[in-house]
Structure 1
C-alpha cells in the first residue's frame, strides 16, 4: 500500500463515497416494495435513471479503489500519462487525464 498522502486522501474520499452509496441503496431497499413506491411514470423513470447513475458511480469508485491497491492509481487509461493531482483530488475515480477526458467529450464518447 502506498504512503503518498494524496493517494491516501483520495482513497479515504473513495471509501466515504462508497459507504454513502451503500447507505443510499440500503435506505431505498428498506422502503415498502423495495423502494418501488407508487409513483408517476415520470417519477419512476427518474428513479430508475438515478439508480443506474448510483450503480455506475459505485462501479467507478470500486474500480478506483482497485487501481490504488494495484498501484495503478493516477495513470491515464487512454494515453498512459499522469492524471493531475488536483484532478484526482477533485474526482478521485477519474480514469483519464483532462486532455483525454476532453477528447472523449468532444468526440461524443462518455
Structure 2
C-alpha cells in the first residue's frame, strides 16, 4: 500500500489519503460494479486526460484498491477491477452516489 497512513492518523484523513482527490472516487465508483478496460473508464470520464487517468489508476493499484490484468494479446488488452479492499468501499460509494442524486441533483431514489 503506497499511501499507508500513520497508525495515529485521523481515520478520515487516512481514508482520504487513499481515495481523495478529484478523480479517484469517480474511478472507484465506475469500477464498483464491473471490470472495465482503460477506454471504458476514459469514456465515462470525458474531462480527465489520459495521462492523469493513467496516473490515478497506477496510484489506486499501488494502494491495493484495484487490480490491473494485462493480457498477452495483439492488440494488447488491459482490464481494471476492484480488489477485495476496493470492494469494501462499494457500499460507501453507493451511499455517496445516492446522496448526490437526492441532495445535489434533486432526484428521488
TM-score, normalising length: structure 1 = 0.29
Return the structure number with greater helix share: 1
- The structure showing larger relative contact order (alpha-carbon pairs under 8 Å, at least 6 residues apart) is 1
Return the structure number with greater strand share: 2
Question: Which structure's CA Rg is the greater one?
Answer: 1
TM-score, normalising length: structure 2 = 0.29
